Structure 1
Amino acid sequence: MRPARRLTLTDEVYEAVRAQVMDHVVAPGARINIDALARELRVSPTPVREALARLEADGLVRKRPLVGYTATGLLTRDEFDELVDMRLILESAAARRAADRRREIDIDRLRDAADLPGPVPDTQGYASIAAFTAQDARFHHLLAEESGNRMLHDAVVRLRPHLHLFRLHFPTTHYQTSEAEHHRIVDAVAAGDPDRAADAVRDHLLAARARHLPHFRQA
């Protein structure tokens, strides 16, 4: 077992490098120089390599033979549409199954996860939305977990949509509307109504899609 101090350092480096990728300090497609990054963060190359391995699992960086690590490109419009389509399939099914299992799941835990924090004061860029992003992901992952289907849950988690979407664009209207949409999903699950739960997820994902679309028009 590694010492807690080492684990804390690795986590800190991971968060620092992830913020650089999310904020485009490391530009999409740019090569990542491990030694330069280690000097910048004042750490050895080892925790940087460990952080990059985790970011590769997140889909935020890519390791290529003879090149090393590069930041992944931003979602194209076609990839964005494919991601939304996949989420509609998976997460609607998860909500339907969760509603069917109403008596077996912890509704209070799901309701707590539906709450979303606002922007972090006195911060900019990814730092201001990191808490929102993490909690939003937690809600969707928990909903998939409550489906009772481990493979369905794993598929939802592997998509990492929150990192990819909010790296691309963060509509401020998410702050006003996403939490209310989450609670409509929870209400439907709590009522044990599979059709209503699936519809609530669909409405939420399509509304989120509409909030992101202006980015592609501007681009």
Structure 2
Amino acid sequence: MTLVDQTRTRRAPAPSRQMLADHVYDAVLDLLIDGELRAGTALGIDALAREFGVSQTPVREALARLESTGLVRRTALKGYRVAPVATPEELVRLMQARLVLEPSLAELAADRLTPQLVADLERAVHDLATAPLGPSFHEFRQYWEADERFHRIIAEATGNEFLLSAYRALGGQIQRFRLFGGGGVTDSDHCVAEHTRVLDGLRTGDPATARAAMAAHITEARDRALGAYDAPDPANA
């Protein structure tokens, strides 16, 4: 290594606390989604800090973010644990909430349609359709991110900060209900088609059409998810 290289190495900025928290968040999320951390597993802050080679602060921040998704839970004096497996009854209640909120978001967004909004949604659908679909979270993460981005863009387009806050609180909980699948993405064709219909509904500029398309998407997604609970476990076949 030359003196110049050594100088550059010494002057390289240290990772920020936010970058470290993001790293821990992503790493723990991978373990959760891939089933390497089972329901009820204790998530010790000291142990995670040692494992990832960081201080306790970014670990605390990452776990707090994961708590907001419902993937982990914190109990006073006991710390964090992986959340229990979501039940069909909880899924039904979540989808009831989505059916109250998201069709209304689509309805309002249709009234505020812009070329940029359409372009952003088209990009999200394209990314959804072309994302990898392997069995591990590392492989299908782009798919999930495109799905979430599509719905978030619609929520942001309403221009209503209160509805956006409600969507964020609700949207975070969706991750927990993807845990039970355990086999990656199995409904890509359905999901891409439904998102395309929502986009087409928004393109009409008719709030009622956009609302109906979003309601149909949420309903069909609910029915597929409930069907996955009833499907036999391949590991036990």
Q: CA deviation at 1:103?
A: 5.2
* Partner AA of 1:53 in structure 2: A
**Which residue in 2 is equivalent to 1:11?**
22
The reply on whether 1:43 has 2:81 as its aligned counterpart is: no
Any unmatched runs of 5+ in structure 1? Answer: none
Q: CA deviation at 1:61?
A: 1.4
**Which residue in 1 is equivalent to 2:132?**
120
Aligned counterpart in structure 1 of residue 221 of structure 2, from 208, 211, 216: 208
Preserved CA contact (<8 Å) 2:121 2:150: yes
**Aligned equivalents of 1:189 and 1:119: distance in 2?**
23
SS at match of 2:39: coil
Percent sequence identity over matched residues?
Answer: 37
Deviations along 1:42-98, whole A, 9 cap, x unmatched? 333332222112212222212211211111122211110011111111010011111
The reply on whether 1:94 has 2:105 as its aligned counterpart is: yes
**Aligned equivalents of 1:17 and 1:185: distance in 2?**
32
Preserved CA contact (<8 Å) 1:120 1:127: no
- Asked which structure has the greater CA Rg, the reply is 2
* Partner AA of 1:66 in structure 2: L
**Which residue in 2 is equivalent to 1:148?**
159
Q: CA deviation at 1:148?
A: 2.3
* Partner AA of 1:57 in structure 2: S
SS at match of 1:39: helix
Give TM-score scaled by structure 1 length.
0.87
Aligned counterpart in structure 2 of residue 110 of structure 1, from 98, 121, 125: 121
**Aligned equivalents of 1:4 and 1:155: distance in 2?**
35
Any unmatched runs of 5+ in structure 2? Answer: 1-12, 233-237
Q: CA deviation at 1:111?
A: 2.0
**Aligned equivalents of 1:149 and 1:17: distance in 2?**
32
Q: How does 1:116-195 map to 2 (within 5 A)?
A: 116-118=128-130, 120=132, 124-159=135-170, 160-169=172-181, 172-195=185-208
Q: CA deviation at 1:174?
A: 2.5
**Aligned equivalents of 1:185 and 1:119: distance in 2?**
19
Preserved CA contact (<8 Å) 2:34 2:137: yes
The reply on whether 1:52 has 2:63 as its aligned counterpart is: yes
For this pair of structures, how many residues does the alignment match?
216
Preserved CA contact (<8 Å) 2:136 2:184: no
Q: CA deviation at 1:181?
A: 1.3
